[in-house]
Amino acid sequence: MYSEKVMDHFTNPRNMGEIENASGVGTVGNAKCGDIMRIYFDIDDNQVIQDVKFKTFGCGAAVATSSMATELVKGKTIYEALQVTNKAVMEALDGLPPVKVHCSLLAEEAIHAALWDYCQKNDIQIEGLEKPKDDISEEEEEEEY
Catalytic residue among 7, 33, 124, 136: 33
Sign of CA dihedral 40, 29, 113, 77: positive
Question: What's the CA gap between 19 and 109, in Å, rounded?
Answer: 18
24 and 121 Cβ atoms separated by less than 8 Å: yes
Active site residue 59: no
Closest to ligand FES by CB, 133 or 144:
133
Question: Could you say which of 61, 72, 89, 96 contacts ligand FES (CB under 6 A)?
Answer: 61
Task: State the Rg of the chain over Cα.
Answer: 14
62 in contact with ligand FES (CB under 6 A): yes
From the list 7-15, 16-24, 57-65, 80-88, the region that binds ligand FES by CB under 6 A is 57-65
5 and 43 Cβ atoms separated by less than 8 Å: no
Question: What's the CA gap between 31 and 93, in Å, rounded?
Answer: 23
Which amino acid, 37?
A: M
Question: Could you say which of 13, 24, 58, 132 contacts ligand FES (CB under 6 A)?
Answer: 58
Active site residue 119: no
Question: What's the CA gap between 135 and 28, in Å, rounded?
Answer: 5
Among residue numbers 19 through 48, which ones bind ligand FES (CB under 6 A)? 30, 33, 35
Catalytic residue among 25, 62, 68, 103: 103
Q: Which residues bind ligand FES (CB under 6 A)?
A: 30, 33, 35, 58-59, 61-62, 103, 106
Catalytic positions, written as ranges: 33, 103
